[in-house]
Amino acid sequence: MIGLDRARISIKKINIPPEQLKFNILNKFSIRGDIKTSNGEKIYIGDHEGIDKVFKFINFIKIGLKNQLCSIEIEFNYAKYYRNTNFELMKTQKEKEDVDLSILIILSEITEIDISKMTYEYSFLEVAEQLEIKRFTDYTNVIYLIYRALHLNKDLKKSGKVFYDYSSTLDRFFTTGFVFSFKDGLTLETYNKSLENNEKTLDESDKVTKSSMRNEFKFTKTTLKNIFGSSAVESLKLNVLREQISERIGLSIKNAVIEQLKKNQLEIEKRLDSLDSLTPRNIQLFVTENNEWILDYDWFNCILKNKLLGKKSERMIFRYQKMAKEKLIALEKSNSPKRSNTKNIKKLEQYLKILFGVKIEIELTKDGEIQIF
């Protein structure tokens, strides 16, 4: 179930002197400062020393000046309205409405506009979902597959990056996530939320021991209007966001993943065909050199069986598969970046279902065929 994290709400064309607007902001949050202001000035709230804890969920308020009129943008965190951190997302419509009302009351007091007469909308919204996992590095192959599927799809791609870190204990790199920008301006970020939370959190009681992967969609006002038909705060209810993300975004990502799985299969088949001969030794070398194209050992052994049927006996095919499996499992202890070659089909199905709301089924047949539904 998706939830909300960071958001910005804006109000345009406010007929109030900028000095009065800034005075109202400083006064509301008991902050000392010069009332003189300039276009684009940000007044930070939540991190301000001595700020009332009820306002900790507000990051900043930005003042805009244009054609003798003011505008205001307030950035806040839905999840932090209830907790010290944003590790747990805000997931109910009732909670959303409570936070929205609190923000609107603050904006009404600052701008001196009655709530009933205010015109306000999201200028930015983060919609996210979290998947509790055993280890983030267990999903390295899945993350690579998702990223490659998005990056190589000409209908989706704009730009993106994969992120890594280094463990001095293991003397190996490991993947921490990726960020991807779609052509329409939407941004998707997948990252290790537990790692991020524990690095930012100073209070030991707010640190977490469980490992969680977060998928975060970052919507601008334009992408909200394009995908949901509106950027209005009241119209963007959680059930609408869930439904449209699954139908409009999740299905596009699912189709890209299916296409990439087929490309990876064809690539592995082509590389197997290029071998002079298939022997137990060169199969081990093959999986070592081509691990980045291999989802997991079950997936590879299905392709391998298809190639060996009619050429080798069932006993020899089993031997080849056993050696490929053993080598791929052994590589988990030495590969850098760290990765798992085990049960990634199930992880991929789980990833897409929980984080994107779409169902995919991958069936490996006894005849060496890979069927995707």
- Summarize pLDDT for 178-209 with one digit per residue, the tens: 999 998 889 999 999 999 999 998 889 999 99
What pLDDT, on the 0 to 100 scale, is given for residue 157? 72
Supply the pTM of this predicted model. 0.92
Q: Which of 86, 101, 97, 2 is nearest to 46 (CA)?
A: 86
- For residue 312, give the amino acid letter: K
Q: Which amino acid is at 244?
A: Q
State mean pLDDT over 113-129.
Answer: 95
| CA end-to-end distance (rounded Å), the chain | 23
- 324 pLDDT band, cuts 50/70/90, is very high
Confidence of residue 109 (pLDDT cuts 50, 70, 90): very high
Report the distance separating Cα 49 and Cα 51, nearest Å. 6
CB 291 within 8 A of CB 310: no
Q: What angle do CA 367, 293, 133 make, to 5 degrees?
A: 95
Has residue 1 got a pLDDT over 80?
Answer: no
Beta bridge partners of 73: 10, 62
Q: What is the pLDDT of residue 158?
A: 80
Specify the pLDDT at position 184: 80
Of 331, 357, 362, which is closest to residue 346 (Cα–Cα)? 362
The percent of residues in the chain predicted with pLDDT above 70, rounded, is 100
pLDDT level of residue 170 (50, 70, 90 thresholds): confident
With cut-offs at 50, 70 and 90, classify the pLDDT of residue 281.
Answer: confident
pLDDT(97) > 80: yes
Provide the pLDDT for residue 154: 84
Per-residue pLDDT of 216-259, as tens digits, reads 999 999 999 999 999 999 999 999 999 999 998 999 999 999 99
Structure confidence at residue 219 (pLDDT): 97
